[in-house]
Amino acid sequence: MQADQEAQAHAEAEAGPSGESLPAENGAALCPAPGKKPTRQWAAWTRQEEENFFIALRQVGKNFEKITSRVQSKNKNQVRHYYYRLIKRMNKLLGPGFVVDAKNTKDANAAMLRWWSLLEKHSCSASKLHLKPRRFKTFVTALGHQLLKDR
């Protein structure tokens, strides 16, 4: 009984007066759902932040601390999350025939840099790519060919 009261008090302390989730430290908002782990909700990356990320990735590799110092508007957790989310997105787009291995830093970084150069070439953002089916298909095909060529 006392444990239930403590859990309720903890949940009320995390939520605002009307029950909305409050921002946690480092810019993420925690949205606890009953019985689920709180999820992070960060602001979307701007084109400039993405550009700074890829420039830093090219210069310093997979060193999240150094990338964070160059992006400046994102913290280390956000940079790390973006890195691995991008690998996951590339693997989903490329399908089972081609896998970008996150543990192979050299290949993963090369794939990400190839991804960025193709986005610039097709002048589109990653978040809006799926809204243009013809461009999307061309992009995914070109990415697959380039990654196979790089290997």
What SS3 string covers 105-132?
HHHHHHHHHHHHHHHHHCCCCHHHHHHC
Tell me the two tokens of residue 86: 């991008």
State pLDDT tens for residues 32-86. 556 777 776 778 888 899 899 999 999 999 999 999 999 989 999 999 999 999 8
Please report, for the chain, the start and end positions of each structural domain, with discontinuous segments joined by +: 2-41, 47-150
38 backbone dihedrals φ, ψ, rounded to 5°: -60, 140
Q: What is the mean pLDDT of residues 7-24?
A: 43
Across all residues in the chain, what is the average pLDDT? 74
Choose between 4 and 63: higher pLDDT: 63
Tell me the two tokens of residue 131: 């809204």
Element (H, E) at 39: strand 39-41
Strand partners, 21: 15
User: Strand, coil or helix: what is 5?
Assistant: helix
| Cα separation, 138 vs 116, whole angstroms | 15
Angle (nearest 5°) at CA 99 between 96 and 101: 150
